[in-house]
């Protein structure tokens, strides 16, 4: 594979983003890196209050790639793509399943994401 993915972050979906951010900053001492009304990112972990990519309320794992089209071409030759390539405000993403049936996401971040660096 010429396109190597590197681990990006985990997104955990929460009911009250303000309470969650308060917990992670005030109780655990984490530093906010990026902020949006429905998304707050720490170093390799984020909380979000919008709808999960795969439905439900489970955590989502994202791997970052530099060229999403190339990654899609290479990976789709080896496994089933479970979420077709989608363009979203934060970047382009597609999903595949791991051997245990969990969906995993590959993402090329947008140059100008809606979240703001702190």
Tokens 């972990």 appear where? 45
> What pLDDT was estimated at residue 18?
93
What is the rounded CA–CA span in Å between residue 38 and residue 15?
Answer: 10
Dihedral sign, Cα of residue 62, residue 55, residue 95, residue 113: negative
Q: Which domains does the chain have, with CATH numbers?
A: 6-117 (3.10.180.10)
pTM: 0.77
CB 30 within 8 A of CB 48: no
| Per-residue tens of pLDDT for the chain, all 118 residues | 567 889 988 998 888 899 989 888 887 678 999 999 999 999 888 999 888 777 766 788 898 999 999 999 998 988 889 999 999 999 999 999 887 788 889 999 999 998 888 8
């Amino acid at each position: 594979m010429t396109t190597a993915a590197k681990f990006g972050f985990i997104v955990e979906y929460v009911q009250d983003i303000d309470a969650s951010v308060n917990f992670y900053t005030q109780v655990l001492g984490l530093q906010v890196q990026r902020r949006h009304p429905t998304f707050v990112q720490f170093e390799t972990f984020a909380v979000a209050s919008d709808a999960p990519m795969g439905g439900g309320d489970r955590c989502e794992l994202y791997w970052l790639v530099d060229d999403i089209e190339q990654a899609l071409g290479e990976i789709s030759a080896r496994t089933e793509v479970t979420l077709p390539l989608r363009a979203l405000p934060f970047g382009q993403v597609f999903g595949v399943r791991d051997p245990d049936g969990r969906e995993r996401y590959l993402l090329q971040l947008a140059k100008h994401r809606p979240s703001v660096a702190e």
